[in-house]
Structure 1
Amino acid sequence: MKVEIWSDFVCPFCYIGKRRFEKALEQFEHKDKVEIVFRSFELDPHVERNPKKNVYEYLAEKYGMSLEQAKATTQQVGKQAEAVGLHYDFDNMKRTNTFDAHRLAHFANSEGKMEEMTERLMKAYFTEGLHIGDHEVLANLASEVGLDREKALDVLRNNGYADEVRRDEEIGRQLGITGVPFFLFNQKYAVFGAQSSDVFMDVLQKVWEEEQAQPSVINLNGKANSNRDDCADGSCSVSENNRG
């Protein structure tokens, strides 16, 4: 089973949704058969690397609310985060452009560290108040998950993996994704938003059962020949490894 997850590192519900999905996956009997692929999505691709407005000012301006209302909104989101074991420090979050962080994540993917890098970037932004648009900070985070710091810096300075980020975003556009988190199971079943772990468990089970179901076949000529691997009698068997 393949699960593709479109998310952004500064999306509060993406981190919450990630935790809820992980809880369901941990309880899923066949979790070792599930492949997780993280896809890039930029909530605000036009934001500057070092914007002057803080999180509260940004929300107030974007949604036409007062600063007090913006803070109240973040408090509600923070409670949802606490419920899944996360602490959001909105006072110290540093809004930034996430394109470089996504490029770093794709570099990490090339080294087999995509999941670790995704988790580290989210924690850095939401709980530690780190600037995940700064190349030095990103390189340090890469080192923490076992990546070569100098290689990471070279990728960041030379626009490495930009095409991979744009490719994910283009796939997202073709799928009609306008918000995140967005979970796609086997390129067939979609779950939008930070749904409950129960919802994710139901989808995991449904997709697994569908994968295991064998199609009903009516044999019209009375010959099964299920153990033959040649092409006699005008038919060729297919090995189990090629069934899909």
Structure 2
Amino acid sequence: MKIEVWSDYVCPFCYIGKRHLEEALEKFPHRDGVEIEFKSFELDPNAPVNTSLSIQEILSKKYGTSLEQAKNMTDSMSQQAATVGLDFRFDTNIPTNTFDAHRLTKYAETKGKGAELTEKLLHAHFTLSKHIGDRDTLVELAKEAGLDQEEVMAVLEGSEFSQDVRNDEDEARQIGVQGVPFFVINRKYAISGAQPSDIFLNSIQKVWDEENQTSPLKPLATEGMACDENGCEVPPTKK
């Protein structure tokens, strides 16, 4: 089974949804048969790398609300994050552009470190209040994930993996992704949003059962007289 996850590193519900999915997979008896692939999605491709605005100011401007209302929004998200063991610190959060972070993750995937870097980027942004649009920060996080510093710097200084990010985003538009997180299972089934872990578990189990059933037929009657590779079962003669 393959689960593809479209998400962005500055999306709080993407981090929460990731935890919900992980919680579900911990209870799934066939976890070893599940492959997770993260796909690139930029909530705001035009976001500046550096800004003097806080996340509350950005939300207030975007939704036309007061700063107090925007703070209530971030407080609510922090409370939801806490239910899955995440510590969101919006008061010191650094808004930024995530294109380089997505490019770097594409490189990390070629080295088998995509999952490690994805987690580090989310944790750095939401909990450590690091500037994940800053290339020095990205190099630091990549090193922590076990990637070669010189190779990482070369990727960030060039344009490598840009098309890979754009391909993910084009694909998201083609399949109708309106927001993230967005989960696609076996290219057939979709889950939108940071659903509770039990919904993930039930959905994954249902897909697994459907994909692994030995026959598409539903039995209406069983245990009748039949023959198999061992021969035919002959019922006793009535006297």
- TM-score computed with the length of structure 2 as normaliser: 0.89
SS of aligned partner of 2:45: coil
SS of aligned partner of 1:47: coil
Match of 1:38 in 2: 38
Match of 1:230 in 2: none
CA drift of 1:150 comes to 1.4
Alignment partners' CA distance in 2, 1:52 and 1:186: 42
Matched, 1:23 2:26: no
**1:22-68 residue CA offsets vs partner (Å, 9 max, x unmatched):** 00001100000001000000000001100221101000000110001
Match of 1:229 in 2: none
Match of 1:92 in 2: 92
Please list every run of 5 or more consecutive structure 1 residues that lacks an aligned counterpart in the other structure: 218-225, 227-244
Alignment partners' CA distance in 1, 2:21 and 2:49: 30
- Opposite residue 185 of structure 2, the aligned amino acid is F
Match of 2:110 in 1: 110
- Opposite residue 142 of structure 1, the aligned amino acid is A
CA drift of 1:213 comes to 1.1
SS of aligned partner of 1:109: helix
Alignment partners' CA distance in 1, 2:138 and 2:184: 28
Match of 1:59 in 2: 59
SS of aligned partner of 1:204: helix
SS of aligned partner of 1:147: coil
- Opposite residue 50 of structure 1, the aligned amino acid is N
Alignment partners' CA distance in 2, 1:156 and 1:133: 11
Match of 1:193 in 2: 193
Match of 1:223 in 2: none
**1:53-99 residue CA offsets vs partner (Å, 9 max, x unmatched):** 11010000001100011001110110000000000010111100000
- Opposite residue 175 of structure 1, the aligned amino acid is I
SS of aligned partner of 1:131: coil
Alignment partners' CA distance in 2, 1:94 and 1:149: 24
SS of aligned partner of 2:6: strand
Alignment partners' CA distance in 2, 1:169 and 1:52: 28
Matched, 1:123 2:131: no
SS of aligned partner of 1:176: coil
**1:152-201 residue CA offsets vs partner (Å, 9 max, x unmatched):** 11101101110110010011010111200000000111000000000000
Match of 1:138 in 2: 138
- Opposite residue 154 of structure 2, the aligned amino acid is D
Alignment partners' CA distance in 2, 1:38 and 1:56: 27
CA drift of 1:216 comes to 4.6
Match of 2:223 in 1: none
- Opposite residue 93 of structure 1, the aligned amino acid is N
SS of aligned partner of 2:211: helix
Match of 1:235 in 2: none
Larger radius of gyration: 2
- Opposite residue 188 of structure 1, the aligned amino acid is K
SS of aligned partner of 1:190: strand
SS of aligned partner of 2:130: coil
Match of 1:72 in 2: 72
- Opposite residue 51 of structure 2, the aligned amino acid is P
- TM-score computed with the length of structure 1 as normaliser: 0.88
- Opposite residue 210 of structure 2, the aligned amino acid is E
Please list every run of 5 or more consecutive structure 2 residues that lacks an aligned counterpart in the other structure: 218-228, 230-239
Alignment partners' CA distance in 2, 1:12 and 1:34: 24
Match of 2:224 in 1: none
SS of aligned partner of 1:38: strand
- Alpha carbon RMSD of aligned pairs, Å? 1.1
**How many residues align structurally?**
218
Match of 1:209 in 2: 209
Alignment partners' CA distance in 2, 1:26 and 1:50: 38
Task: Summarize the Cα distance change of 1:213–1:80 in structure 2 as closer, same or farther, 3 Å threshold.
Answer: same
Match of 1:81 in 2: 81
